[in-house]
Structure 1
Amino acid sequence: MKHRSVLLFTALAHSLDHSYVIVLSILMPLIMIEFDMDYGEIGLIASVFGFLFGLNAIPAGFLSDRIGSRKVATFSLLLCAAAALLVSIAWNKVVLTLFFVIMGIGTGLYHPSGISLVSKAFEEHRSKAMGIHGIGGNIGQALTPVMTGLLASPEAIAVLSFSLVGLGLGWRKTYVIWALPGLLVALGILLFVRFKEVPVRKESIKTMLKEMAMIPFDNRNILILLILTSFQGLYFNGLAYFLPTIIKDVKVAPLIIAGLLTSLKEGTGALGQAFGGWTGDKYSKRNLLILFNLISTGALLWFFFAQNRYSLAVSIAIIGVSVYAFQPVQNSLIAESIPVHLRGRAYGLSFFTSYGIGGLAPLISGAVAVTFSLSAVIPLMVVFAVIATVVATKIREVKEGQN
């Protein structure tokens, strides 16, 4: 496969982009204790972070088409690394929120740029390339929760015949450590990614912005996909931010166990990416999106009623497969539905709905947790998954570039 450097470093960047979200989700209980926060307050911070993560995808998509995806992806990682260092020195809730604003801006730059770069580098077997890109990301994401838990927590737990003891560095030093890989991967993209793009410079900025704004109105399939990714994003992000806290506080497990189970979700997500990438090149993308959202619905219900660690582990593993399997499928369907010169902007809109609108999930979840209980967050995620399944039935199959 040509352009291996593109896949390697975009997969690493993809991994880190989500890692900065996962690190927050694992460290939320420790941050809540230090700053005396309730679920609503930490949910608000997570939603500010998540909303900007998605909102910034719109200018990121525009910039990817205008100046090139490689430059945007590099700047994304540099900004994330800087934000991680800033978060580590936050001295109150307001400052902490401001530093997560910076991190939200940084993380939001990656997805449209990285996905656009992969889609341009691999015109053939695009679903497969998207799947490989996702697998690489999931491998890193699977390591992030357990690594973060072991770095931050002093707890000791038994896993099979082994005993794991956390280093107990706390959340601040853990964030300092997570700044380093962002710097290294940014350097790798600058030095080793040599795929040549052709930025869209002949059109005026005003024309490009107008074209971007009209995409959902001119393209019915893209409009349906944007609605779909909104609801998928709501339950994906609700789980991304609150799953470790639910495992710890509702299922009554140590933080390291919460980290391990979150790692399981991300690890099985790699299988989901592979399965989605393989099936997306062979079968109806519409039917696959319906199927994967149905599986997510069932697995969420299983998790809600799970009474032991075995049931928790199995339900979380299935959730991991299903929520990541639909990603290469929908990303390939977007590419097939839009001309190449609009692709970065289309991905910008898609990731805004996934992570901007979807980024409201922590705020909604925090409000539900305060008003009812933390356990009520999972039925809320089930509702979002059911709606996503219904929306997926409205998608139509398209040929490459058809509007």
Structure 2
Amino acid sequence: MTVALSRRASDVRVIGLISLAHGSSHFFHLVLPPMFPWLKDAFALSYAELGLLMSIFFVVSCVVQAASGFLVDRIGARPVLFAGVGLLALAALTYSQSNGYFMLIVGAVIAGCGNGIFHPVDYTLINHKISPANLPYAYSMHGVTGYLGWAAAPAFMVAIAELSDWRIAFLFAAVFEALVLLILWLNKSQLIDNVKERHENTHANTQASHPGIAPESTFAFLKLPAVWLCWIFFFFSMASTSSLQSFAPSALFSIYEVPLTIGSYYITLLALGSAGGVLFGGYLAAKLQAPERIVSTCLSITVVMCLMLFTGLISVDLIPIIFFALGFGYGVVAPSRDLLVKQATPKGVAGRVYGIVYSGIDLGAAIGPFIFGLFMDAGLPKALFLGIVLFQLMIIPTVFRVSADTRHTS
């Protein structure tokens, strides 16, 4: 009993630290978009130029994420985690001191380098340091804190910018990330990742299940169709989400005359809905054991909601409810999505698989805002909601194929 309680306490500490780091990374996804109205006026930028900043951030993150998975499998997760958090703090400091578009680009590159390490680090630590019985809780907390990070950033940044200015808002973001790094450093003993032990256990498991079979090559996992189907799923999912986060306030202002500051708080509602949805989605995924049905049903509902926003005919009073419900639908999908990725991941290559698969998130987030920034500059704000509908419709077939492939190979 004492050993079990000690293990549970250790799991709780590790889950808390990983979730804190993950939440801070999602917070940094949205430190820049809420400042778009201020940056647009300060530097006379177009929506396309602002969208390009997010594209740069996520393209860099995409490349770093794919590479960092291999680095995590080689040197361990902890040093990579510390480097990523430190880079995010440096990026916010760079934003705060920007004197033009070029410095904003430099900040976006630094932030992309920092953001790219989190999913390979987080899932490697969770899979290898959390006891199997507590894994569902770890995945749930990890997902919830990500959405809470999204929820906190717009409210945090807009409130400080309104009270002072946008430079002070970025400075506060830098201080926040520095505090996260300090907490992780003070608890570094909880984040030790024994790479040698991981590889030895993987080799032992391989020999036990397939005696005499040589280990597969470093890149063998890239031949698995399920890995690339998961990548496509993440690409279209994040292309729609990041576009909504970046331009929904401006689109709502153009279509419904909703003030920009109010529209920014709707992004917070979107994230809070997602946090609630991921908790319910975990329960639903465990109960139904049918991720393809959960994903297709939820996405069909969110498609209808986006079409309602596209019409420009709904009551302004309904918009906050729709944004919360959209977020809830996205959140319900998340545990089923993560379950599919875990089922598609061969043993011993978690860092590499998560690095490649989650790079789809970054590339989708890079391309989406840039495309819809062009539509916004062209005076077509309704194209934002119609495009999100099309992206979500692209997701549904992939999840059925991934589910079929993982059942076939299991």
The question of whether the paired residues in 1 share the 8 Å contact of 2:199 and 2:348 is answered with: no
Distance between the aligned counterparts of 1:245 and 1:6, measured in 2? 39
Structure showing greater radius of gyration is 2
Distance change >3 Å, CA 63–CA 296, structure 1 → 2:
farther
Q: Aligned runs of 1:340-355 on 2, under 5 Å? A: 340-355=347-362
Note the alpha carbon deviations across 1:155-200, whole angstroms, 9 max, x for none.
xxxxxxxxxxxx1x22111000101121111122222251443325
The question of whether the paired residues in 2 share the 8 Å contact of 1:88 and 1:175 is answered with: yes
In structure 2, stretches of 5+ residues that fail to align are: 1-7, 201-214
The question of whether the paired residues in 1 share the 8 Å contact of 2:123 and 2:350 is answered with: no
Distance between the aligned counterparts of 1:106 and 1:317, measured in 2? 29
Residue 80 (structure 2) pairs with residue 72 (structure 1): yes
Residue 376 (structure 2) pairs with residue 381 (structure 1): no
Q: Amino acid of the residue matched to residue 166 of structure 2?
A: W
Residue 274 (structure 2) pairs with residue 265 (structure 1): no
Aligned to 2:338: 331
Task: Tell me how many residue pairs correspond in the alignment.
Answer: 384
Displacement of 1:291 after TM fit? 2.4
Distance between the aligned counterparts of 1:321 and 1:119, measured in 2? 26
Residue 143 (structure 2) pairs with residue 134 (structure 1): yes
The question of whether the paired residues in 1 share the 8 Å contact of 2:94 and 2:103 is answered with: no
The question of whether the paired residues in 1 share the 8 Å contact of 2:310 and 2:383 is answered with: no
Distance between the aligned counterparts of 1:304 and 1:287, measured in 2? 26
Q: Amino acid of the residue matched to residue 307 of structure 2?
A: L
Q: Percent identity?
A: 23
Aligned to 1:164: none
Q: Amino acid of the residue matched to residue 279 of structure 1?
A: L
Deviates more, 1:47-56 or 1:264-273: 47-56
Aligned to 1:161: none
Displacement of 1:58 after TM fit? 0.7
Aligned to 1:198: 194
| Bigger proportion of residues as helix | 2
Distance change >3 Å, CA 292–CA 66, structure 1 → 2:
farther
The one of 95, 103, 113 equivalent to 2:111 is 103
Distance between the aligned counterparts of 1:398 and 1:383, measured in 2? 24
Residue 274 (structure 2) pairs with residue 281 (structure 1): no
The question of whether the paired residues in 2 share the 8 Å contact of 1:127 and 1:281 is answered with: no
Distance between the aligned counterparts of 2:331 and 2:153, measured in 1? 16
The one of 299, 302, 306 equivalent to 2:305 is 299
TM-score normalised by the chain length of structure 2: 0.86
Q: Amino acid of the residue matched to residue 286 of structure 2?
A: D
The one of 230, 238, 248 equivalent to 2:235 is 230
Distance between the aligned counterparts of 1:7 and 1:125, measured in 2? 10
Distance between the aligned counterparts of 2:245 and 2:173, measured in 1? 18
Residue 232 (structure 2) pairs with residue 254 (structure 1): no
Distance change >3 Å, CA 34–CA 249, structure 1 → 2:
farther
Aligned to 2:51: 43
Aligned to 1:322: 329
The one of 166, 171, 175 equivalent to 2:166 is 171
Q: Amino acid of the residue matched to residue 73 of structure 1?
A: L
Deviates more, 1:7-16 or 1:177-186: 7-16
SS of residue paired to 1:106? helix
Distance change >3 Å, CA 392–CA 333, structure 1 → 2:
closer
The question of whether the paired residues in 1 share the 8 Å contact of 2:21 and 2:180 is answered with: yes
Deviates more, 1:128-137 or 1:266-275: 128-137
Displacement of 1:364 after TM fit? 1.0
Distance between the aligned counterparts of 1:295 and 1:119, measured in 2? 32
Q: Aligned runs of 1:2-17 on 2, under 5 Å? A: 2-17=10-25
Aligned to 2:179: 184
SS of residue paired to 2:257? coil
Q: Aligned runs of 1:214-229 on 2, under 5 Å? A: 214-217=220-223, 219-229=224-234
The question of whether the paired residues in 2 share the 8 Å contact of 1:50 and 1:358 is answered with: yes
Residue 149 (structure 2) pairs with residue 149 (structure 1): no
Displacement of 1:383 after TM fit? 0.5
Displacement of 1:49 after TM fit? 1.1
Note the alpha carbon deviations across 1:7-33, whole angstroms, 9 max, x for none.
212222222111112121111111111
Displacement of 1:270 after TM fit? 0.7
The question of whether the paired residues in 2 share the 8 Å contact of 1:9 and 1:189 is answered with: yes
Over the aligned positions, Cα root-mean-square deviation in angstroms equals 2.6
Deviates more, 1:140-149 or 1:267-276: 140-149
Q: Amino acid of the residue matched to residue 174 of structure 1?
A: A
Displacement of 1:349 after TM fit? 0.8
Q: Amino acid of the residue matched to residue 267 of structure 1?
A: L
The question of whether the paired residues in 1 share the 8 Å contact of 2:22 and 2:122 is answered with: yes
Distance change >3 Å, CA 399–CA 43, structure 1 → 2:
closer
TM-score normalised by the chain length of structure 1: 0.88
Distance change >3 Å, CA 401–CA 347, structure 1 → 2:
farther
